[in-house]
Structure 1
Amino acid sequence: REDSTGDKAIYAYYVLEDGVEMSVSDVREELSINLPDYMIPAYMMQIESIPVTKNGKLDKKALPEIEAKTEKEYIGPRNEVEEKICNAFAEILGIEKVGVRDGFFELGGHSLRATRLVNRIEEQTGKRIALKDIFSNQTPEKIAMLVNETVEEEYTPIPKAEEKEYYPMSSVQKRTYLIEQMDPDKILYNMPESIRFTGEVRPDALKDALQKLIDRHEILRTSFIMVDGEPVQKILPHVEADFEYINDETTPEKELLKSFIKPFDLSNPPLVRVRLVNRGEYHLLCMDMHHIVSDGMSSAIFTREFNALYNGEELEPLTHQFKDYSEWMRNRDLSNQAKYWKSQFDDEIPVLDMPLDFVRPQEQSFDGAMLGRGIGKHLTDKIKEVASVNGTTEYMIFMSAVMVLLSKYSRQEDIVIGTPISGRTHRDTEDMLGMFVNTLALRGKPEGKKSYKEFLSEIKEISLKAYENQEYPFEELVEAVDVKRDTSRSPIFDVLFVFQNNEEEEINIGATNVEEAFVENTIAKFDLSFYICEYNGEYGINVEYCTALYNEQSARNLVDHFVTVLEKLMADTDKKLSDVEVVSEEEKNIIFNEYNDTKVEYPREKTLVELFEEQVEKTPENVAVVFEDSKLTYCELNKKANALGNKLREAGVGADDFVAIISDRSLEMVEGIYGIIKSGGVYLPIDPTYPDDRINFMLDDANPKAVLIYTTEELSIISKGVKSININGREIPVIDLADGEVFKGVSENLDVVNKPEDLCYCIYTSGTTGKPKGVMIKQQNVVNYVYKSDKSIMAYAFDNGIKNFVSVTNYVFDIFVTETILTLCNGMTAFIANSEQVNDLNKFKKFVEENNIEILQTTPSRVKGFLAQDANTTAFENMKYIILGGEAVGESLIKHLSSRTNAVVENGYGPSEATVYTTCAKISEGDITIGRPVENTRVYIMQDMTLCGIGIPGELCVAGDGLARGYLNRPELTAEKFIDNPYGENKLYRTGDLARWLPDGRIEYLGRIDEQVKIRGFRVELGEIESRIREIEKIRDVAVIARTDVGGDKAIYAYYVVEDGEITVTEIRECLSKNLPDYMIPSYMMQIEKIPVTKNGKLDKRALPDIEVKTEKEYVAPRNEIEEKICNIFAEILGIEKVGINDGFFELGGHSLRATKLVNRIEEQTGRRIALKSVFSNQTPEKLAELVGEGKVEEYTPIPKAEEKEYYPMSSAQKRTYLLNQIDADGIAYNMPDSMKLMGEVRPDDLKNALQEIINRHEILRTSFVMV
């Protein structure tokens, strides 16, 4: 029950057997053998019998009150100082007699009471000790010794303020006022409370008590207004109480409470209102105060005095009013406290990066909800035990645990949390009403290498120092530190932590059966607020969350994970924080047995050759591959592959032998791949456009037994007609696939020499060392992929009879496997698009229409590029199934794509190391995930190799039959990335991707953990680019980052420091082009004096300057109309103000996707269409203008005008929308609403006229959609 101070405490009543004598001290001594200190009852009494009710239950009301006594043997004060301190203990803790060796916290003290104790000691002795000294000197004896050593200062009461019309608002009042003025219709700072009760009540006495309180406290008669541009408070001489008494037995209580809570007018006091509702069987008493005049302790004072006045008691006159305090605070010297707080935030202030369910609004939303749960008696007792053993308070335990929780969710080790503190550091404030509470921004560093015990000790020190400096206003700290202002969130911190140890008062008006009437919380002042309270000896957790950021399930998971964190931390305080696993046993069962229930059977003993040959037997005359005007049946492809395979065997190729293929897009490319597979070798695809150094590295690294080539452009490293090249000291045969003889000869199926564990292909991806790394994929991996795709990715195609599959992917991407291996093992036709059809929308559109293409797999970047060429294209209109893979899919892309096609859109996710796709999901606007694990694949989300609970971000790790053998010639990297699976057999691959489980078992992709990024669908290690730039002569240091540029594209930015002299961006670009493909060359580069770093020595990305795109060449203006048009197009696409005719497109930040836009704009502006490849060889406006002028272009064909007639058929998209709308004519699914708030003068007539002109201008706005 509550003790005399209002705190919950343990009471024990005991009955002795006849003839037995046992004192309270004896009982305590016996209990101390088996129970920790905090579980020993604070109050005990021997009684004759335990009282029970008529029903035989304990009659708690009949138990007598117990006078508080200390556990220790009583030793009285021995001098004046000890006596004063013992008296202060007794007053604050509500105990009659305190000895000099009684511990403050053992007797029920906490941090708030400790603050009052410091004030009382100063008042009584004239000496002020530090708050932290109470924690290390808990007894009157020790505190007295400390006081005696302290220099005496005369106790100074708060001076009375000068009487005047206006007083400046306090810092916290000012901030509250200004926030309120931004949206005065909000109830953000209301403090409502309501109770139900039965029994007699006197409404007039309630009103009279309220009026007396308003007369007594000036703050309740204070108006908050602006005078001469400054926020001030004005105290009125008299204000009528806002009291309402009504009879209402019918309105639902929830509605009554909701209608009572309404905005206050801060200029019109009183800012407190009371309503009494007669409900017939009971009464409902509602109170509401505005936070600008009140806080938690003020509420308790208000209630205590309200009770006294209602019951006819006289109150002691007040010696001070709030204005005295606010004026006193304005003149105080808090420079030392300011210095402390500024030192806490003198480096970059971390912004909490929590995973959200909704996009953060541009302006902070205060819409909220609250939910909570108890933590159980056992965990409560354990928390008290850990606090006692470690010399901390429960507050510090909970605060540290919240930081650990947020660290796990955000993956950050620098966390700032706000926490309120009473602010009543002076004795004279303890009976005042007003807003004294200040906010402390506590900054902790829950680094994984620390044990919890270490971190808890740090939080103790941080908290004590914060208490010592608690008077410095948070509002002034915000102004003083370098915090980036963001209208979408609170300054400095987004999470509040409140340990509710205010000594609450209950309404005492002679009522019975009093219970709280809970008011539904719809406000969230912060993203998250954690409230800890104790009830009936058990701690409870309530979390207030912003509903614009989190859904209810996520908030519930957060609360449950908080309890899990507490359980894990309390179980082992020596455990490193990185080893704390935030996942419950129930969640583990769901993750292991539900989300990862993916096992299916497939022919593990077979190889890819066998699967393909089985399909050839089924459909020998069906068309397998089409390229331009050529095609091959399954039988023809098989024979050619056999012939080539035989020649490779003759060259010594067998199982696990590498064969490189360097080919343009062509039939020969497919024939070459299948010939390698038939030989038993491992196909190694190399892009012929790669720089020579990169090709040479891949050949040296893989050491192939043969090299296949098929290119229209001669390779500089392999001349036309060359029959062999030297690799690692060996002459390696070169086979030119353009030579028809290579496909002649023995065409029967070869003996299968492969086993499932043999390699099938090797694909090189970017590497952090500056060198690409080869991913080795086994036969079993591919066979499994073919079969699992039948169940997932390809299921829709099979079910809907789709046979034609277009291939637009570069064959060095692993998703190319879907287009030419998965398809041809399932009897489909693979249509290979040529390089122009891959990049030019019009040619792609014509290609898919002529060939009745209904299924497409590509990267999001390619779709985005097509839509950039023509936002209204019909290229996707007849598609039934689109698979997006290779990079993250954006919401805007899906929205746009969905408006151009009715196709099912599948999002395929998977690293090359796990064989194409690991997870997949059908996606739509507003619902984009990477889905669930595909067949025979298991996914685990992990942090520091500990399992993450549902909703907690971590590294996505993959296990199952898709895992590669490892990296070619990179045993250390293979061991690092392919680790032993702690949850099953074989290996676990660490993808480096950040993701989290959603409650329904789908996975949300959150980005890359390391510095590897996706640029235009290519996986890029920024570390590789840095390594290459560092190799350039004169470069001393470099930093490479990925940013979104002015065009909204993800781009690579490089900042470099030179030794002596200068090196131009053009020179760097030329050096990089020898080693790196185009997509890895930074679009933006800048020379700077030094690379900025944080205090921790890490790259300070925020300090890197924006790069203004400019050319290094002398500006030469356009000399004719065509040059001017092309210069303007450059400027528009690249976001540059001025472009000269000698400026290079790619030097200014252009890339292949932007080059496609350039081609379209030139056609639009000049009526002439140039080939996309021409942009690469003619990069300046001058050269492009010459091309246009020479007529080396295609004629621009405008859309012809339609014949005038009464009716026109709807487009396909319109037809679908119309029919869906007719099914539900009252629905608003296809409405596209938008709204905005206008400030300033508005002319309604002009708005109407503008709308009418737009309707007159566009026929579509005057179009009726009907059935005829």
Structure 2
Amino acid sequence: MGKYAHAAVPRAGTLGVHHLVAAHVGERPDACAVRDARGGPSLTYRQLWEQAGRLAHTLATHGVAPGEPVAVDLERGTALIVALLGVARAGAAYLPLDAQAPAERVATVLADAGVRTVLVDPADGGRAGRTAGVPGVRQVAVERPAPDQQFEVPDVPVDGDSPLYIGYTSGSTGTPKGVVVPHRAVRRLVTDATFCTIAPGDRVGQAANPAFDATTFEVWGALTAGATLVVLPTVVDLAMDRWAALLQDEDITTLFLTTSLFHLVARTRPGALHTLRNLVVGGEQLDLAAVRAVLAAGPPQRLVNGYGPTEATVFATSFDCTDASLAGRDRIPIGRAIQQTTLHVLDAELRPVAPGQPGELCIGGPGVAKGYLGRPERTARAFVPEPGTGTPMYRTGDLVRELPDGELELVGRADRQVKLRGYRIELEEIERAALATGLAEAAFVSKVGEGPAARLAGAFLPSGGRERGGAEELAAALARALPAYMLPGSWAPLASLPLHSTGKADRGRIDAMIEAATAIVEDSATDGAGEAAHSQQPAGPSSGDPVTDALTRIWGEVLGTPATAPDQDFLSLGGNSLLATQAAARIREVLAADVEPYDILLAAGIGELAGRVRESAEAV
């Protein structure tokens, strides 16, 4: 476990990311480190360091060893930041759990990582209950130390290769896989960053899901620079005007948005981001028209398209979006390498391809992760020696080409991994989960549509002895095993399995059948005459209530589904927070009702939401 020491600032020569934070504790102890703009507590750098030290002490008393994974199951807020820093000070590796993941998936992740300790808030019964009964796992509360409380903080040596965190991604083998990210990789991300400069006194927004690696940029980018990390509501938690006003009121200088959320802001209020100094956008292909709309309406001082997989620690390339840089382009590039990063465009034999030719993007440098936890064979396939250095580089599976000006442009995937609304998803994981339900003999999932209309859809062959159908039963079973963003919005049953002459499933024909089935669903949401998406005609028979009919039509427009029963909820029909924001905007436009996205997400169905709309109208 190492020695214990009382000193706040560690000895010279250590390499942990938390040691960069310690320097600011010594220089500016009373500066604000974390502020919760939603009404929660704030912490100075001294307070944050002390509370993290208390947690590190608690973990040591529980026998947490250096490098051991410690799960963190906390909502966004100051306690979460204390937990991440406390685990780092204990020399362990934090593993953030996804709030959207069902208990079954959480248990799978904990078992896969060999987690013995999970940090929880006992007052949050819903989240704490997910891990309460997992065998071999103890819960530890994140508590504030009492005034003048004495405790010894473990002084655990770390080096650049010591793991800082484990990020779980969708897995093509049917289970999620953990990416082990060391301290050196995060230091490379936040030190002398070329894509986003953060300095003491800056205010960095924190709105990402803790389980996804944008949080790495937000938290450590702010704290290692001596800036203030400001915990914000997400774009979908507030009406757009209120969210934009909050950015200005909180004097946010730096913000990360997923591509999907950026597109939403660009469509609804493109001038909302003009007060920012740095805006980094990433996760999917950035839409050129959306960027130009923001540039025309009053852009942030710097608008950056960032690209990078979890295995390369958040960002590997960047491209500054300006009127000049976009002139003459029909797509936005992913740009060039950021600091301490090398890029290679290679063929299947890992040989360089000629400029302009497509090849697989491979990433080298200290930002490359250590590999996949407990998966040496998969690690060996994905992390290969870099030409010239022999150090590990990561094969992204992304196909790129070098443009005449030297920028890189993303052209597709070498495998079946997709990105949807900021989430990286391996389609095979969903298919294996469908087979595991016992309701399907074969299952196939595709990403259909483009841009904001993109979604997942599937086809399946019902298990032997079952009648053709069962799509609703399959969807319900998957909802208990997968997070909401991985659930296909529709499932088409197959009468038989299309095969190649080789006897293998014909993916081309199956994908075409999925697209055709999706198109039929979309067509049924209109009057069948090809009307525009915002048709004023109801999608089904009238209920006799104009509010219910209007809501039914709006849900059909946004979700791409036919008329629904009053007790079918938004999420079960394939909805999510982004689509709820669109629906709320349409409801305000059509019914002049003050409805927020969370009203839609929490409503048991259109019937309940109709009551909420009437209450809003009566209050006006």
TM over 0.5: yes
Is contact 1:1129-1:1161 (8 Å) kept?
yes
1:753 aligns to 2:157 (yes or no): yes
* Aligned twin of 2:521: 1109
1:941, CA displacement in angstroms?
0.8
| Counterpart for residue 296 of structure 2 | 899
Residue aligning to 1:614: 23
Matched, 1:1170 2:581: no
Distance in 2 between residues matched to 1:1066 and 1:1130, nearest whole Å: 18
Q: Percent identity?
A: 27
Change (3 A) 1:882 1:1194: farther
Residue correspondence of structure 1 range 563-578 to structure 2 within 5 A: none
**2:88 matched to which residue of 1?**
677
Q: Which residue of 2 aligns with 1:794?
A: 196
CA shift for structure 1 position 726: 4.7
Q: Is the 8 A contact 1:1169 1:1194 kept in 2?
A: no
Once the two structures are TM-superposed, the CA of residue 1115 in structure 1 deviates from its matched residue by 7.1
1:812 is aligned to 211
Residue 60 of structure 1: aligned partner: none
Give distance in 2, aligned partners of 1:902 and 1:634: 32
Matches within 5 A, 1:840-989: 840-868=239-267, 870=268, 872=269, 874-903=271-300, 904-924=302-322, 925-926=326-327, 927=329, 928-944=332-348, 945-989=350-394
Indicate yes or no: 2:480 matched with 1:1078: no
Report the Cα distance in structure 1 between the residues aligned to 2:122 and 2:195, rounded to whole angstroms.
33
Shift of 1:667: 1.0
**Does structure 2 retain, via aligned residues, the 8 Å contact 1:807–1:830?**
yes
Q: Give the 3-state SS of the residue equivalent to 1:792 in structure 2.
A: coil
Are the equivalent residues in 1 in contact too, given 2:260–2:452 (CA < 8 A)? no
Which residue identity does 1:714 align to in structure 2? Answer: G
Are 1:1061 and 2:475 an aligned pair? no
1:1084 Cα deviation after fit: 2.4
CA–CA separation in structure 1 for the residues paired with 2:395 and 2:238: 34
Question: In the alignment, residue 996 of structure 1 is paired with which amino acid?
Answer: R
Partner of 2:533: none
**Contact conserved, 1:1126 with 1:1185, CA < 8 A, in 2?**
yes
Name the aligned partner's letter for residue 754 of structure 1: V
Query: Does 1:770 pair with 2:195?
Result: no
Cα RMSD of the aligned pairs, angstroms, is 2.8
Paired residue type of 1:606 = L
C-alpha spacing 1:860/1:733, structure 2 compared with 1 (3 Å): same
Residue 121 of structure 2 corresponds to 710
Q: Could you tell me how far apart the structure 1 residues matched to 2:547 and 2:149 are?
A: 56
Distance 1:874 1:607, change over 3 A: same
**Alpha-carbon distance in structure 2 between the residues aligned to 1:864 and 1:755:** 40
Higher relative contact order (CA 8 A, sep 6+): 2
8 Å Cα contact 1:616/1:634 also seen in 2 = yes
- Tell me the CA shift for residue 1189 of structure 1: 2.9
- Structure 1 gap segments, 5+ residues each: 1-602, 1197-1268
Mapped pair 1:666 → 2:77: yes
- 1-structure distance, mates of 2:150, 2:245: 39
Q: Per-residue CA shift, 1:67-120, capped at 9, x if unaligned?
A: xxxxxxxxxxxxxxxxxxxxxxxxxxxxxxxxxxxxxxxxxxxxxxxxxxxxxx
Q: d(CA) in 2 for partners of 1:840 and 1:1093?
A: 49
| CA shift for structure 1 position 1001 | 2.6
* Cα distance in 1 for residues equivalent to 2:283 and 2:148: 37
User: Quick check: 2:66–2:156 contact (8 Å CA) kept in 1?
Assistant: no
* Pairwise CA distance, 1:775: 0.3
Among 681, 697, 707, the alignment partner of 2:108 is 697
Is structure 2 residue 40 aligned with structure 1 residue 634? no
CA deviation profile, 1:991-1016 (whole Å, cap 9, x unmatched): 11111122333211112211100011
Q: What's the CA shift for 1:965?
A: 0.9
Tell me the residue number matched to 1:1134. Answer: 559
1:1100 to 501, 508, 529: 508
CA distance, structure 2, for counterparts of residue 614 and residue 819 of structure 1:
18
Aligned with 1:1000 (options 405, 412, 423): 405
Distance 1:1125 1:981, change over 3 A: same
Change (3 A) 1:767 1:743: farther
Does the CA-based 8 Å contact 1:664-1:711 persist in structure 2?
Answer: no
- Matches of 1:688 and 1:1149 in 2, distance apart? 18
Distance, in Å, in 2 between the alignment partners of 1:1039 and 1:675 is: 43
Tell me how far apart the structure 2 counterparts of residues 1146 and 901 of structure 1 sit (CA, whole Å). Answer: 35
The verdict on how the C-alpha distance between 1:625 and 1:838 changes in structure 2, with shifts beyond 3 A counting, is farther
Structure 1 residue matching 2:284: 3-state secondary structure? coil
Amino acid in the other structure paired with 1:680: G
Is the 2:206–2:255 Cα contact (8 Å) retained in structure 1? yes
Distance in 1, Cα, partners of 2:405 & 2:148: 55
Aligned-partner Cα distance in 2 for 1:986–1:1194:
66
Partners of 2:236 and 2:141 lie apart in 1 by 25
8 Å CA contact retained: 2:345, 2:352: yes
After TM superposition, list the pairs within 5 Å mapping 1:84-483 onto structure 2: none
Q: For the Cα contact (< 8 Å) 2:283–2:421, is it kept in 1?
A: no
Between the aligned partners of 2:280 and 2:13, the Cα distance in structure 1 is: 26
The one-letter code matched in structure 1 to 2:340 is N
Gaps of 5+ in 2: 1-11, 526-538
Shift of 1:977: 0.7
Q: What amino acid is aligned across from residue 887 of structure 1 in structure 2?
A: E
Offset, 1:1076 = 0.7
Larger radius of gyration: 1
| Distance in 2 of aligned mates of 1:680 and 1:1082 | 40
Change (3 A) 1:1033 1:623: same
Seen in structure 2, the aligned counterparts of structure 1 residues 846 and 1167 have a Cα distance that, compared at 3 Å, is same
User: Residue 1119 of structure 1 is aligned with which of 544, 548, 551?
Assistant: 544
Per-residue deviation, 1:1194? 11
Does the alignment pair 1:1089 with 2:495? yes
Q: In structure 1, how many angstroms separate the alpha carbons of the residues matched to 2:156 and 2:82? A: 18
Question: Does 1:734 find its partner at 2:139?
Answer: yes
Is residue 186 of structure 2 the alignment partner of residue 782 of structure 1? Answer: yes
Residue number in structure 2 paired with 1:625? 34
- State whether residues 693 and 1074 of structure 1, in contact with CA within 8 Å, keep that contact through their aligned partners in structure 2: yes
The answer to whether the 8 Å contact 1:1039/1:1091 transfers is: no
Q: Which digits, 9 at most, give the CA deviation of each residue in 1:437-462, with x for residues without a partner?
A: xxxxxxxxxxxxxxxxxxxxxxxxxx
CA distance in 2, matches of 1:683, 1:1194: 49
1:1028, CA displacement in angstroms? Answer: 0.9
CA contact (8 A) 1:640 1:744 kept: no
Deviation at 1:1158, TM superposition (A): 1.2
With over 3 angstroms needed to count, the CA separation of the structure-2 counterparts of 1:821 and 1:604, relative to structure 1, is same
* Alpha-carbon distance between aligned partners in 2 of 1:712 and 1:1130, rounded to the nearest angstrom: 35
Contact 2:33 2:229 (8 Å CA) reproduced: yes
TM-score (norm 2): 0.86
C-alpha separation in 2, matches of 1:1020 and 1:859:
15
Residue type at the aligned position of 1:1092: P
8 Å CA contact 1:1039–1:1054 kept in 2: the answer is yes
CA distance in 2, matches of 1:711, 1:866: 36
Q: CA deviation at 1:1169?
A: 2.4
- In structure 2, the partner of 1:1259 is none
Distance 1:1089 1:1063, change over 3 A: closer
Secondary structure of the 1:1004 match is strand
